[in-house]
Amino acid sequence: MSIYSLDFYVLLSLRDFEFTQTHTGNRGTADDPRREIGGKIHLLVSLFIYLAGVILAVVHRQTVGSFLRANVHFIAALALVGVSAFTSPNGAEVARSVVQLSIGLIIAITYAATHVRGPYRSLAVVVFIPLFLTHLGSVVLFFVEGLSFTSFFATELRYGGLAGHPNSLGGQCVLGIWAALVLVTDKESPRNWRIGGGVGAVVFAFTATITGSATALVATVTVASVTLALRLLSVLDVRFRTPAILGFFLVSFVLGGGLFIHKGAEEILGGLTESVGKDSTLTGRTELWEIGISAASERPILGWGLDNQARVKDTREYHIQYAHYHNGFIDTWVASGGLVVLLLLYQMWRFVVMSMKSVMVEPGRSILMPTLVILIILNLSEYSMLRPLSGIYQLYLCAWALLWFSLFAPETGRIRAGTSRNARGSSRRSDRRMSW
């Protein structure tokens, strides 16, 4: 996540201040020779990550094996994705994607297993540091190049910064604001970390407003609200947490349903899109969704292959000029098939169930719940779900694994005692049975 928060091509262009199309996400840079150099750096970094993943898998083989035996749906999803390697015209790309996804899963498992006993803010720290440096550098570059905040905020200009593209920078803003708020609201965090989190929140809010990404703005506000609400919920007595959660969803359902009945779907959609400067097609996304759904409907079970849309784009009827269909659920259906989508939905349902159980034991674990919110919201108009080397998906995997290790004993799959004050004795007895 820390490495891929940067665009290596942009790093090679920092002294070329007239080269602002790189930082503003405009076209015309694909044939630049610096792209090839950046690609070579990207390849070397990828090889390093693969090697690190193999080493982690060997060192923590018992832990990884225990997790996968208890959660075979992860293996099933990877296997179904890999099947398309035999039918895709770019089978090597499918195989590479499966390797990348597998390495990402191994990293998430080993991280969770080695950090489950520590403070859960450690995951926020891992996210915060690289993204804060990336966005702080982007802000500095923004003003060094003489760009105007007013111009970007009030017009359709978009800024990509060191992430290389406005959508990428916007997605990072959502992750960053979550990590920053976790640090700010954690009473056990050192004072310097809390101050740093506050500064980071300001930086991420600034970059979110100049990316021109409506998705990033909506997601940033939503994730910030959910994170703060969960923090507030965690201070409630355990007897009132479940009623508070149910009450929140009940009020949301009543208000949302009443609004839907009173205004109607079209008027609500139009108001939302206009409020963030978009038209009713979400700048052409709905047209892409229609094409993607048509493509997925032709191969609904196993999909076309996780090969960067090489196979589906060979079909003229479904060809698009973009890298994906701008919806993670549709893109996953197109690439990997309906079975994989069902497995992903099952994983999300498990995430919610584990979150509810975990928060009842230890309120501090509520900070992990917004990672699912981030994944869902950002995949409504972008694509990061089950996507290799996606920091958004990687964060979700780490949170998923942390929740599982906090609840279950790996070698048995049985739910274990929590780590609250009332259960520490049972937790210590459980530790003696664990081989990891």
pLDDT digits (tens, 9 = 90+) for 324-333: 788 889 989 9
pLDDT at 260 over 60: no
pTM value is 0.80
Smallest Cα–Cα separation from 368: which of 195, 186, 207, 103? Answer: 186
Smallest Cα–Cα separation from 331: which of 400, 285, 373? Answer: 285
pLDDT at 264 over 60: no
Smallest Cα–Cα separation from 2: which of 173, 109, 134, 177? Answer: 134
pLDDT at 427 over 60: no
Work out the angle between the directed axes of helices 91-115 and 121-144 (0-180°, nearest 10): 120
pLDDT at 419 over 60: no
pLDDT at 308 over 50: yes
> How much is the average pLDDT of 195-212?
92
Residue 13 · residue 161 · CB < 8 Å: no
Q: Where residue 109 falls among pLDDT bands split at 50, 70, 90?
A: very high
pLDDT of residue 24: 55
pLDDT of residue 357: 85
> How much is the average pLDDT of 20-46?
57
Residues facing 415 on adjacent strands: 408
> How much is the average pLDDT of 125-154?
86
